[in-house]
Amino acid sequence: MTKVYSSGELFPQDLECLFDESGVRIGETSFSVTILQDYPTVVELHDGTQTHRCIVSRNAKGQPIVSYRGYVYPVQLSTPKEQQYQTILKSVADTSSRPARVIAPMPGLIKNVALSVGDTVKKGTVILTLEAMKMENAIKAPSAGTITSLNVQAGQAVEKGVLLCEIKP
């Protein structure tokens, strides 16, 4: 079985496509496949109600592409090892509920803290300002959520890698 990831007009988001001897499954839709021509490969996909004709070939860099209704979509093939890795990643607990940890990117002095514990932030909201080498650097929220811990205060010197705050989604 081969997995392919692509996106496009027929399937507007990135989707996992599974190919085997019985046909192809793209997302939740199963298709039977008829190969009309070898190279470039012309393929008809049948889902029981509609037939979709597409061309499978390679671009100038040798990467696989699918042409459908005049649009060209890049395709990323995965090896059996990558498939195994993806399966492992999917089985790991969902990390979206873990707090985002904001770490000091460099040593410096905390100039001001714009927020406090309990404040709600959007991705990109400035949390604090870190001065390093006479330049002020805005430290922004990497994700939306609520600040659950704030470990620094204005005037405090910090080293690179120090936990500045945590944001719970």
The pLDDT of residue 69 is: 75
Write the DSSP string, 75-106: EEEE-HHHHHHHHHHHHSPPGGGSPEEEE-SS
The pLDDT of residue 6 is: 46
pTM: 0.45
In terms of pLDDT, which residue wins out, 138 or 7? 138
Distances (CA, A) of 34 to 53, 54, 77: 9, 11, 20
Q: How far apart are CA 155 and CA 158, in angstroms?
A: 10
Average pLDDT, the chain: 80
**Which residue is listed with tokens 């492992």?**
88
Kind of pairing, strands 163-168 and 29-37? unpaired
pLDDT digits (tens, 9 = 90+) for 74-101: 776 666 677 677 677 766 655 566 788 8
In terms of pLDDT, which residue wins out, 72 or 167? 167
The pLDDT of residue 19 is: 61
